[in-house]
Amino acid sequence: DEVVQFSDAAGDSLQLAQVAASNKDAKYIVFCGVHFMAETADMLTTDDQVVILPDMRAGCSMADMADIEQTERAWKELTKLFGDTMIPLTYVNSTAAIKAFCGRNGGATVTSSNAKQMVSWAFTQKERLVFLPDQHLGRNTAYDLGIQLDKMAVWDPHTDSLEYDGDIEEIQVILWKGHCSVHQNFTVKNIESVRKNHPDMNIIVHPECCYEVVDASDYAGSTKYIIDMIESAPSGSKWAIGTEMNLVNRIIQQHPDKEIVSLNPFMCPCLTMNRIDLPHLLWTLETIERGEEINVISVDKQVTAEAVLALNRMLERV
């Protein structure tokens, strides 16, 4: 919150991508997020705009779970199994190189806000979908669209193997074996505890949580969905929220008329996102004022060209 109060724009990954694409005036864009978000901003802004990340250590463990060498190798092996029947989609929580891979292979990016829309589009293009790097968002989205779990497989990049239970010929969705380290910590036991101790409390979670948690919750959706649901809920309503702790605390502060708790009482915030703090923001603004450009995010032009294909296929449909 100490950083958010100084922002000119705030939002989820889709909203921030749209802001970056539409803002042609600002010379400097100080991106108070993690590295993959700043990369996306750099790719969607003009050449004379400068994107700066206050702390270059602000990364994302999920994005790091799919590197380009692993992905190229996986695509080669999967093509041996399924031929030219696959289209790749990547969650925007991925590196520029993975976005570029999807762009040059006819695929697109997705956010948690538009995942259903983009997965539906993908199946108008090919018979099968490869979803990177978050298996949980991919699984939850596909299931919501009517695809059964036995029609999904998981690609393990560490063993270069495909994990599945049903008939391989009937596989429609191939999920990359990646996850969000924060949302992985919400469990069905957390939900059972809330149900037992607070039976009148609504449970809402982010779709980066595992399938079992999403299935046991009352509501599931993107960051924006969660914010909007709490905003529109009646005064006095009770909510247990399964998402990043800083966001939960912000929602609690904004809605003192409602009883709001974290679904997991021992949840910690996203440590890498937390690296973007007031001292780093102040230091960044002071260096700009001195005419210095430090921590500039600059994505290779070829990577940018291919990644923008994937980003634009998404932005054209939302």
Whether 274 has a pLDDT exceeding 70, the answer reads: no
Q: Residue 267 domain-assigned?
A: no
Look up the CATH number of the domain holding residue 19.
3.40.50.10800
Taking residues 282-300, what's their average pLDDT? 91
The answer to the question of residue 318 being in a domain is: no
**pLDDT at position 184 over 70:** yes
Same domain, yes or no: 74 and 155: yes
Percent of the chain predicted with pLDDT > 90: 66
Lowest mean pLDDT among 56-60, 263-267, 288-292: 56-60
Q: What pTM value is reported for the model?
A: 0.88
The arithmetic mean of pLDDT across residues 119-141, rounded, is: 98
Q: How would residue 7 be classed by pLDDT, with cut points 50, 70 and 90?
A: confident
pLDDT digits (tens, 9 = 90+) for 32-55: 888 888 888 898 888 889 999 988
Lowest mean pLDDT segment, chosen from 25-29, 232-236, 266-270:
266-270
For residue range 17-27, list pLDDT tens digits in order. Answer: 778 778 888 88
Structure confidence at residue 129 as a pLDDT band (50, 70, 90): very high
Q: What does the alpha-carbon distance between residue 178 and residue 214 come to, in Å, rounded to a whole number? A: 17
Give me the count of residues in the chain. Answer: 318
Rg (CA), the chain: 20
Task: Tell me how many domains the chain contains.
Answer: 3
Res 266 pLDDT > 90: no
| 312 occurs within a structural domain | no
79-83 long-range contacts, CB within 8 A, separation 24+: 81/162, 81/168, 82/128, 82/171
Is residue 150 situated within a structural domain?
yes
